[in-house]
Amino acid sequence: MTINAVVWGENVHEQTNKVVADLYPKGMHQAIADCLNAADGVNATTATLQEPEHGLTKERLAQTDVLFWWGHAAHGDVADEVVERVVEAVWSGMGFVALHSAHFAKPFLRLMGGPCNLTWREAGERERLWLTSRNHPIAAGLPDYFELENEEMYGEPFGVPEPLETVFISWFQGGEVFRSGLTYKRGAGNIFYFRPGHETYPTYHDANVQTVLRNAVKWAHNPARRIANPTDAPNTPVDQALEPIEERGPRLHKDGEEGYR
């Protein structure tokens, strides 16, 4: 079975910053897609902020098994209609991988239901990522730790809900630590947050980071059929109860009427 992945990038810094453009001449989104396409059974394409509907139409999301999201400077420019479309796709079973500064992306905030805030420092310091779960599928093929010579620091506390699993913890040269690989389940969708990926450093060219991304797309994929209309809350009339019951009290709604939302 082929996993259809879409890598969404806001594609802003690549157009305005020479350092980023030199590191990622085809854009970070394309570099990530190229990495994913090197994995067996993965077909990765890209979408950007500048495209109509940000490249994420209802029809395209319906065909997307896993959506990767990278954003930083233009979170507020993402249309709320598209955000709700993405969130409902996750609830229905689409995988979602939030990268680096996507902790403040609208879809991630909506899915987490929290502030997702943290401390940070942009100094190009060394980051050491430790595995906290050697047998986790996202960590397959990795050593007990690996290092990135230059990265932006993210520090605890990280304002996210308690994760299902913590796959990586980072230590930074300045002394801070951070939960850098977190998994969640929202509805039928698998979610992975992966911290590294500051745009002025060659993080997505790193072999270990690429291993994580290729593992993550397979972990986040839910092969089951997508749930149609995941926000529906249908009324079940008395005469359709599995066991015979007698209506014994007054009610607000008539049969077939929608409830309050």
pLDDT band at 96 (very low <50, low <70, confident <90, very high): very high
Q: In this structure, is residue 175 part of a structural domain?
A: no
Classified as helix, coil or strand, 169 is strand
Domain membership flag for residue 229:
no
Mean pLDDT across 226-238: 91
pLDDT value for 59: 97
Judged by average pLDDT, the poorest of 4-13, 81-90, 186-195, 240-249 is: 240-249
Q: Would you say residue 241 lies in a domain?
A: no
Whole-number Å distance between alpha carbons of 12 and 75:
11
pLDDT value, residue 124: 97
Would 64 be classed as within a structural domain?
yes
Instruction: Write the CB contacts of 178 (distance below 8 Å, at least 6 apart in sequence).
Output: 118, 153, 154, 155, 156, 158, 169, 170, 172, 195
123 is a domain residue: no
The answer to whether the predicted template modeling score (pTM) of the entire model surpasses 0.85 is yes
Q: Structural domain tally of the chain?
A: 1
Flag whether 159 is in a domain: no
Instruction: Say what percent of the chain tops pLDDT 70.
Output: 100
Domain-embedded: residue 185: yes
Distance between start and end Cα atoms, the chain: 38
Residues 220-237, mean pLDDT to the nearest whole number: 93
Q: Mean pLDDT over all residues of the chain?
A: 96
Q: What is the CATH number of the domain that holds 81?
A: 3.40.50.880
The per-residue pLDDT for 258 is: 85
Instruction: Report the pLDDT value the prediction gives residue 72, as an integer from 0 to 100.
Output: 97
Q: What is the pLDDT, as a whole number, of residue 260?
A: 83
Q: What is the pLDDT of residue 256?
A: 79
| Number of other CB atoms surrounding residue 78 within 10 Å | 20
pLDDT tens per residue, range 53-90 = 999 999 999 999 999 999 999 999 999 999 999 999 99
Give the tokens for residue 60.
């395209």
| Tens-digit pLDDT profile for residues 183-206 | 999 999 999 999 999 999 999 999
CA-to-CA dists, residue 211 to 42, 144, 147, 180, 215, angstroms: 14, 14, 14, 15, 6
Q: Is residue 52 part of a domain?
A: yes
Whole-number pLDDT of residue 61: 98
Q: Domain limits at 187?
A: 3-115+181-220
